[in-house]
Amino acid sequence: MLACRNLTVRPRLGAAPLVHGATACFPTGGLHALIGPSGCGKTTLLKGILDILPSEGEVSLHGRVMASREELLREVAFAPQFSIAHAKLTVAEAVSCALRLYQKQDQSSLVARNAELLQLVGLSERANTVVEKLSGGQLRRLGLALELTTDPTCLLCDEVTSGLDPRSEDQILAVLRALADQKAKTVVCVIHNLAKLAQFNTVTVVFEGAVVWQGPLGAMLAHFVIADALELYDRLSEQPRAHWQERWAAVVTGTENAKLMAKRATPAVAVPAAHGHTQRGPCERPSALSQLRTLLARRWRLLVRDRGYLLLTVAITFGFPCLVVIFALGGLPQMKGLALESTGGFLETLQARAAYRQASAETATLVSGLIIFQVILLSLMGSNNGAREIAAERALYEKERMSGLRPTAYAWSKLLYTALLGAAQGAWMTIFVKLLCEFPGGWGAQLAVLSATGASMSVVCLGISAMLSSPDKASLLSIYLVGFQLPLSGVVLALPAALVWAVRPFIATYWGWSGYLMAMTDSRFYDAVATLDKGWLAPPLAAVGVLGAHFLIGAVLVFWGCQKKCWP
C-alpha cells in the first residue's frame, strides 16, 4: 500500500503550497483513479509523493515510512503524461537501453525481459518502429514499458490516457488493469474521463489542493449526493474547499467510517501474483562504468541516425577550415614572399627592406587575423557541440535518474562525447589550414593549442547546458559567450589597460590565438606579428594550461548541473 500523510507540496522552497496537508492511501494490487478539476493539484500530489517538487509530510510504502526519495524509487515508478524517449531509437532499442541502464542482468535475460515488456504493453509488432513514428496511444504504451523496466511494485501514471481516442484510451486502461490484476501492482492513474471510473477499484478526489474523498465509485456518488460522476465537478464548485475537507474528515473519523472502509476493500487488494508471476525484489543497478558504456553507445547511435544534426556537425567541421583557407588565399603570396631573402646591390637591398616592412605589416595583420579566425570558428563549433546537449533532453535525464541512472555516469558520457568531438575538430582545423596555408611552427604545439580550444569551449558550453533546463536559453547564452570572445580577447580591439588582466584569464580565444602564434617564434611570421606590439603573449604550454582550467570549470558545472534536480 502506498500512502501519504499530511503532505504539503510547494512549487519551490518557501513558495505558497499547491497541495495542503493531503492524506491518502492506495491499497496494494488495485487500479486507483485520481481525479479533480483542472489545476486542482493532482499531478502536483504525485510529484510531491515522489519528491520531484519540494514537499513536507510522511510517505509510506507497504507500511514502511520512506526515509528518502531514493528508497521510495526502488519500488515506485512514475509514468508522465507524454512518453519520454529518444525519437531516433526503435521501440525495442529504447526499452533495451532502459533495461541496460537500470538492471544488472546477462544478455539472454535482457532479451527475454525486453520481449516480455513489449508483449505486456502490446507493442511486440512495433518493436522495430522508430519512436518518432508511433501514434499517441503507442507512445503512452511505450512510456509504460519504460517504467516497468525496473519492475516496480507501484506505478504512478500522470494523465496517460488524456488526449487519446476512445479505442486507444481503452487499450491503455486494459494494460493498467492487467498490471493490477495479473501482476499485483498498485497503479494510481490521474484521469480526466469520469465516464471510465467504473473500471477503477477506488477513486481519490482532489479539490483546490486538498484530498476531499477516497473510496469506491458508489460510495463517492452517495457522499456527494450525485447520480452520475459527470456531475461531480459542478457539485464541488458549490462549496469552498474547507466545506469538503470537513465532510471528508467527518466520514473518516465518524460513525460511517467502518461502513465506508468496508466498501473500500476490493478484490484487487487480495489478488496475489497471478499467472505464475513472482514479484521481484528491488533490482541491482549496473555499475557506473556499465551505464557509461550504454550511454555512449546510445549517443553514437543517435548521432548517426539524426541526419540533420550529423550533417550540420560534418558541415561546420569541414566547412569552417575551408573558410579560413578562402580568406587566406589573397595573402598567400605575401606570406610566402616574407620568407624570401633579398639579393642584389645596395639600392636593391634598400628597396627590398622597404618592401619588406610594408609586407610585414600587411602579413602581420593577415596572419594574426587568420589565427584568431580559426579560434573563433572553433568556439562556434564548441557552442554547437555542447549548448543543447543536456538541456534538450533534461526531462528524459531526470526521468532516467529517477529510475536508477547515476548522475556521474551521465555527466561523464556527455563530457567524453563533447570533449572528444571538440578536440577532433580543433585537430582537423590545425591540419587542414596548416597544410594549405603553409603556416610554420611546431605541429605538436599547434595541434595541442587548437584541440584544447575546441575541447574547452565545448565543455564550457556543455556546463551551461547542464545548468539550464531550456535548450533555447542554453544556446542563446552560449552564443553570447562566443560573441564576446572576439572583442574581449584584445586581439582585434585594444582593451583599456585596467581591464586587460581582469578579463583575459576567462577569454579562451586569447589563449588559443596566443599559444598558436607563439609556436611560430622561429619564423618571420612571428616577427611580423610582433611588430604590431600585442604585448605579452602566452607560450603554447601556458595557453594549454589555461584552456585546461576552462575545461575543468566547465566539467564542474556539468557535474553540478547533473546532480541538482531541474525538471523542465
Residue 173 lies in a domain: no
How do residues 5-48 score in pLDDT, each as one tens digit? 999 998 887 788 899 889 999 998 899 999 999 989 999 999 99
Tell me the average pLDDT across 100-116. Answer: 91
The whole domain housing 103 covers 82-151
Comparison of pLDDT for 168 and 272, the residue scoring more = 168
| Together in a domain, 276 and 299 | no
The answer to the question of residue 391 being in a domain is yes
**pLDDT-based confidence at 266, cuts 50/70/90?**
very low
% of the chain beyond a pLDDT of 90:
61
Which range among 189-198, 453-462, 517-526, 557-566 shows the weakest confidence by mean pLDDT?
517-526
Torsion angle (degrees, nearest 10) of CA 216, 218, 224, 230:
100
**Sign of the CA dihedral with 527 first, then 530, 536, and 540 last:** negative
Verify that 397 and 529 share a domain, yes or no. Answer: yes
- Residue 211 domain-assigned (yes or no): yes
Residue predicted with more confidence, 395 or 347: 395
Say yes or no: 187 and 280 in one domain.
Answer: yes
Q: Between 490 and 477, whose confidence is greater?
A: 477
Residues 355 and 443 in one domain: yes
Quick one: 122 and 44 in the same domain?
no
Q: Where are the alpha helices (DSSP H) in 57-106?
A: 69-73, 91-102
Supply the pLDDT for residue 81: 78
Cell of 189: 492513474
Q: Does residue 376 have a pLDDT over 50?
A: yes
Give domain status of residue 172, yes or no: no
In whole angstroms, give the CA distance from residue 73 to residue 67.
11
Domain identity same for 124 and 211: no
Tens digits of residue pLDDT in 517-553: 888 887 766 766 666 666 788 999 999 999 999 999 9
Any idea which of 85-94, 333-342, 513-522 has the lowest mean pLDDT? 333-342
Q: Which residue has the higher pLDDT, 453 or 258?
A: 453
CATH number at residue 64: 3.40.50.300
Choose the final residue of a domain: 262, 285, 308.
285
**Alpha-carbon Rg for the chain in angstroms:** 32
Looking at per-residue pLDDT, the higher value among 197 and 437 belongs to 197
**Is 171 within a domain?**
no
Q: How far apart are CA 565 and CA 568, in angstroms?
A: 10
pLDDT in the model for residue 532:
63
Do both 201 and 54 map to the same domain? yes
Residues 44 and 100 in one domain: no
Above pLDDT 70, what percent of the chain? 86
Tell me: do 342 and 272 sit in the same domain.
Answer: no
**Does residue 256 carry a pLDDT above 60?**
no
Lowest-pLDDT choice from 35-49, 329-343, 374-388, 528-542: 329-343
Do 159 and 146 belong to one domain? no
- Inside any domain, residue 138: yes
pLDDT category, 348, cuts 50, 70, 90?
very low
Looking at the 3D structure of the chain, how many domains does it have?
3
Mean pLDDT over all residues of the chain? 86
Residue 53 is assigned to a structural domain of this protein: yes
Higher pLDDT, 494 or 115: 115
Classify residue 568: in a domain, yes or no: no
State the residue for C-alpha cell 496511444: 137
Residues 87 and 35 in one domain: no
Residue 58 confidence class, pLDDT cut points 50, 70, 90: very high
Total residues found in the chain within this entry: 568
Q: How does strand 154-158 pair with strand 186-190?
A: parallel
Answer yes or no: is pLDDT of 347 > 50: no
19-26: strand order across its sheet: 19-26, 2-9, 55-61, 64-65
Confidence of residue 490 (pLDDT cuts 50, 70, 90): confident
